[in-house]
Chain A
Amino acid sequence: MKKNIVVLTIITILSGFFFITVYNYQLISNMKSNPQRNSSLVRIIENLETEIEAEQERLNEMRSKIENIEVQLSDEQKNIQSLKNELALQKKEAGLVSLQGTGIKVILDDNKDGLSENPESNPNNYIVHYESLLALVEEIKRAGAEAISINEQRLITNSDIRCVGNVILVNTARIAPPFEISAIGNPLLIEKYIINSSEYDFLLTSEIPISYELFTDDKTITIPSYKSNITFTYTQLAN
């Protein structure tokens, strides 16, 4: 009996040993299979994280680039703005924009009544000649006017007022009476200059209807821009 028990005990020891060994193996393999999946998931996550990091870096780069560009842009815009301002100023000075301000409007017309009353006299005594316009413009200029136009024709540096046959050309545009000379400047000063000019006296004595309208503080006069083109054929910028 004792021997039997010993033999059985040996067998049971082996049995227990085998059982636990296999059990352990299964346990470990079960545990292993999950960590493997976990590790693959972890790897995927890590890869994604590195990807995200790379993308974020790229994003940051882009952002800094955009920032630089924006800074440049704002600089350029500032430049552009100053250039625009300059251009606007130049245009204003060149007469390429319409302007408004206080000033005076001088209106003179042919003496039609006088001509019809005296049909035999020389018609030249009853019409406005270009010299009168020229003289009045000269007076207005001397009075410090900043912008002048005659019948919506802006006078700029190379404008001319001349007579071709029986029409008056301003800026090569034909104009007809009544003539309206508009000017921006000190209205009272211009008025004084005109009234005191010999041309004004002459016109009054010639009975040419002449009148003027003052545009002071609350009223402003608008002077149109120069519409024709300015061509420089022989001119170059001097350094």
Chain B
Amino acid sequence: MTTVLEVRDLHVVFGEGHNKVHAVRGISFAVEKGECFGVVGESGSGKTTVLRALCGLNTSWQGQILIDGRPVPRRRDPAFCRMVQIVFQDPYGSLHPRHTVDRCLREPLEIQGIGQRDQRIADALDAVGLDRSFRYRYPHQLSGGQRQRVGIARALLLEPKLLLLDEPTSALDVSVQAEILNLLVRLRAERGFTYVLVTHDLSIISHMCERLIVMNVGRIVEAMPVKALRERTPENPYTQQLLQASLGYDRAAVERFQTFD
């Protein structure tokens, strides 16, 4: 197994003095080639902050991030973008409202100076299951699921090694969610992608991932194989409570809930 991504003692701090927030407090993990690695946590756990540091949207982190054994540059360079791409949570907010699908997909190719653009755009649309007729439409002419497919197509175009997925289906209806999850599973099988999937939904983790880490207030509370999740045998009390809450409403269980800080 080769390690695609390695994170060592990552810290992210926002603000100064009185307003200082230590959002990520020294986390380390490694992601192997071809696996889907889950990052789970509730709001404020720092899971999205980790992802933003990984893809270069936040440059003020401390620690080490290695991709393919090489430290990532603070400032994203074109080579980095060909290696790492991200699919965002909100398909309504992450596509430019006044750019057609074609223009949105063409941009990364132009920046990278990649040729055969028309062919590549057509292939990317095919890969995510969108008809060619979508190519010259604007985002407002698409449904949420179609927009998320465009977001995935955009991430695929540069054939990255590592795909970061930030709650890719939380804005979608369950039947559309199933289509997008199936698409992500199929793409990984066909192209050997490595995924880092951030979500609060344990059932998506169980469906997609092999291993996961559970985060709470900026720390990793537990790292485990997905088997432990499926068989309900996590060791950490925080994870146990999260799992219990995710299995459905149980009046008696709520009484036993604690707060973990």
* A and B physically associate: no
Listed in ascending order, the chain A residues whose CB lies under 8 Å from chain B are none
